[in-house]
């Protein structure tokens, strides 16, 4: 396998895992916020919304990093 094909395969694997990493970041933030609301603080919607917002921000950061990587190619 030559170097171009190997790099192409690495890029395909990276971009196909991007959707999984975005959804995982959102769910981690959401569940962490739910956990804080129910078991630690007891402030029902506040930490859930903050965790969801942080998870979405982390997902957008992953998209931004993927766009930056694709521009460097």
pLDDT tens for each residue of 27-62: 999 999 888 888 878 777 888 898 999 999 998 998
Q: Considering the entire predicted model, what is its pTM? A: 0.73
pLDDT of residue 73: 59
Q: Are 32 and 51 in contact (CB under 8 A)?
A: yes
Helices (H), the chain: 3-16, 18-35, 44-72
Q: What is the distance between the alpha carbons of residues 55 and 16, in angstroms, rounded to a whole number? A: 19
Mean pLDDT of 7-21: 83
Q: What is the distance between the alpha carbons of residues 28 and 7, in angstroms, rounded to a whole number? A: 31
Mean pLDDT score across all residues of the chain: 85
Mean pLDDT of 16-37: 89
Q: Are 48 and 30 in contact (CB under 8 A)?
A: yes
């Amino acid at each position: 396998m030559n170097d171009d094909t190997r790099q192409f395969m690495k890029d395909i694997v990276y971009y196909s895992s991007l959707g999984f990493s975005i959804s995982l970041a959102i769910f981690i933030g959401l569940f962490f916020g739910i956990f804080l609301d129910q078991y630690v603080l007891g402030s029902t919607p506040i930490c859930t919304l903050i965790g969801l917002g942080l998870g979405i921000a982390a997902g957008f950061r992953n998209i931004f990093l993927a766009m930056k990587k694709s521009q460097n190619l």
